[in-house]
Amino acid sequence: MKKKAYIETYGCQMNVNDTEVIFSILEGAGYERTEEMDQADLVMANTCSIRDNAEQRIWGRIEVFNQLRSRRPGLVVGIVGCMAERLKDKLLDTRKVDLVVGPDAYRSLPRLLEAIAPGSPQIDVLLSRDETYADITPVRTDKNGISAFISIMRGCNNVCSYCVVPYTRGAERSRDAHSIVREACDVYQKGYKEVTLLGQNVDSYLWKSETETVNFANLLERVAAIAPDLRVRFATSHPKDISDEVIYTMAAHPNICKHIHLPVQSGSSRMLDIMRRKYDREWYLERVAKIREVMPDCGLTTDVIAGFCSETPQDHQDTLTLMEAVGFDWAFMFAYSDRPGTLANRTMKDDVPAEEKNRRLNEIIELQNRKSLERYRAQIGRTLEVLVEGPSKRDPAMLCGRASNNMMCVFPAASRSKGSYTQVVVKDCTSATLICE
């Protein structure tokens, strides 16, 4: 009889894909997936270390897992992912975790699970320069059967001064292009209508063999060619690397969605230099201008950090004016939190008071809410093609789905079914949803 494995996933889309890879590896070791924690023989959290509050939440979940273990002796508790890499010793010292496995060591899970014994926790957090899990077919964990995540690369070489990712996920390496196309073909044949290609910096994707070299624009083209009704999305782009070739490739293929998540982090060139982002305000605005020249209706979203080390009121104003000029559809917005082990943590002073960080963050949020409403209102009267994802959470009599530009649309159910494409006319909006017929 198979044992049951339960995994909670925290953080970004790449962690979702990692969880699907882990379930595939565990299947080969005699485990099957369960969504009921109380039924599990193995309970794990796939973790994120980008922000402190994400880590604090995991500590709370470890307590919950151990309460369950007190009722079910023999239950194995594990932490995998970025937090496992960053806090390996601390996790084991708590004596509340049996298993600690980093992002590049998932193949070792069967061996480690076999070796677990009372008082003998197991750990493998070695980083790799070549692991991409290219040969593993993920066990899809999504519930809608419409959209699938496909990892095209792992790690990051940018070493932005605030970011912990290079230390938890290692150096950048690109996955075999043929394995990516095979996986995309597989999910399409299983009925999926959309794939999202994932990487810390997809624009730097570069795979070479003895006979060919494939960059990100080439890869996009290959995946888009699988089928005209397979939508292709990607995340995340880096402003320093997004090329004209990628922009023109997007424009040339109707099934490559017209949406780019382009994290700016700050509108101040001085702050961008301190953050080691390797572009300045002018470069970012030029890339936005190029995108909108080639694809006027392209959706643009971003990330913004408030109160990074030494940020002045003028730096903050530069961020506000850039946001005003670009007019993002939506943004992830955060007050800076110092992450141990980063360049900023080692060499810079976190000198903007928490109260001031929050004040600046609230200004950023207020501005973005206004710009989002403007961007969504500009869609009123337009006809959009939407991929139906299923019933709206707020009103089961309505369906919901995303347009190519990534805006969420809700519309009467009529006879449309999940996974189909439909044309809708935008009649009204909120700052996050288009209300359509």
DSSP states of 304-342: EEES-TT--HHHHHHHHHHHHHH--SEEEEEE----TTS
- Residue 270, CA distances (Å) to 275, 310, 325, 376, 380 in order: 9, 10, 18, 32, 38
Measured distance CA(102)–CA(368) in Å, rounded: 36
* The predicted structure's pLDDT at residue 408: 98
At 41, list the tokens: 């023989």
| 136 lies in some domain | no
Residue 274 lies in a domain: no
Assigned domain for 429 exists = yes
**Is residue 1 over pLDDT 90?**
no
137 found inside a domain: no
- Between CA 426 and CA 114 the distance in angstroms is 56
Of 259, 284, 282, the closest CA to residue 375 belongs to: 259
Please report how many Cα atoms fall inside a 13 Å half-sphere around the Cα of residue 102, on the Cβ side: 21
In CATH, what number is assigned to the domain containing residue 59? 3.40.50.2300
Predicted local confidence at residue 262, as pLDDT: 98
Q: Of 111-120, 184-193, 266-275, which gets the smallest average pLDDT?
A: 111-120
Domain residues for the domain of 426 are 383-436
Domain-located, residue 325: no
> How do beta strands 408-412 and 398-403 pair?
antiparallel
Whether the predicted pLDDT of 335 surpasses 90: yes
Q: Considering only 14-18, 285-289, 327-331, which range has the smallest mean pLDDT?
A: 14-18
Tell me the CATH number at 427.
2.40.50
Predicted local confidence at residue 143, as pLDDT: 81
Q: Total structural domains in the chain?
A: 2
CA distances from 162 to 10, 169, 338 (A): 20, 15, 7
> In this structure, which amino acid lies at residue 289?
A
3-state secondary structure of 172: coil
Residue 284 pLDDT > 80: yes
Q: How confident is the model at residue 264 (pLDDT cuts 50, 70, 90)?
A: very high
Q: With cut-offs at 50, 70 and 90, classify the pLDDT of residue 155.
A: very high
More confident residue, 65 or 93: 65
43 within domain boundaries:
yes
The model carries a pTM of: 0.94
Percent share of the chain, pLDDT over 90? 87
pLDDT, mean over the chain: 95
Phi, psi of 267 (to 5 degrees): -95, 5
Residue at which a domain ends, from 97, 124, 151: 124
Asked whether residue 49 is domain-assigned, the answer is yes
Can you give the pLDDT at residue 432? 96
Query: Is residue 51 over pLDDT 80?
Result: no
Single out the residue in 124, 143, 178 at which a domain terminates.
124
pLDDT digits (tens, 9 = 90+) for 382-407: 999 999 999 998 888 899 999 999 99
Which of 95, 124, 153 is a domain's end point? 124
Q: Is residue 71 part of a domain?
A: yes
Rounded CA gap, 11 and 20, in Å? 14
For residues 222 and 91, the model is more confident at 222
Region at 282 (left for phi over 0; alpha for psi -120 to 50; beta for the rest): alpha
Q: Tell whether omega for the bond before 321 is within 30 degrees of 0, i.e. cis.
A: no
Kindly indicate the confidence band of residue 250, based on its pLDDT and cuts at 50, 70 and 90. very high
Beta strands in 122-258 (DSSP E): 122-124, 147-151, 153-154, 173-174, 194-198, 206-208, 213-215, 231-235
Q: Residue 365: is its pLDDT beyond 90?
A: yes
**Long-range Cβ contacts of 345-349 (<8 Å, 24+ apart):** 347/161, 348/161, 348/274, 348/309, 348/310, 349/309, 349/310
In the predicted model, what is the mean pLDDT of residues 272-278? 98
Tens-place pLDDT, residues 298-332: 999 999 999 999 999 999 999 999 999 999 999 99
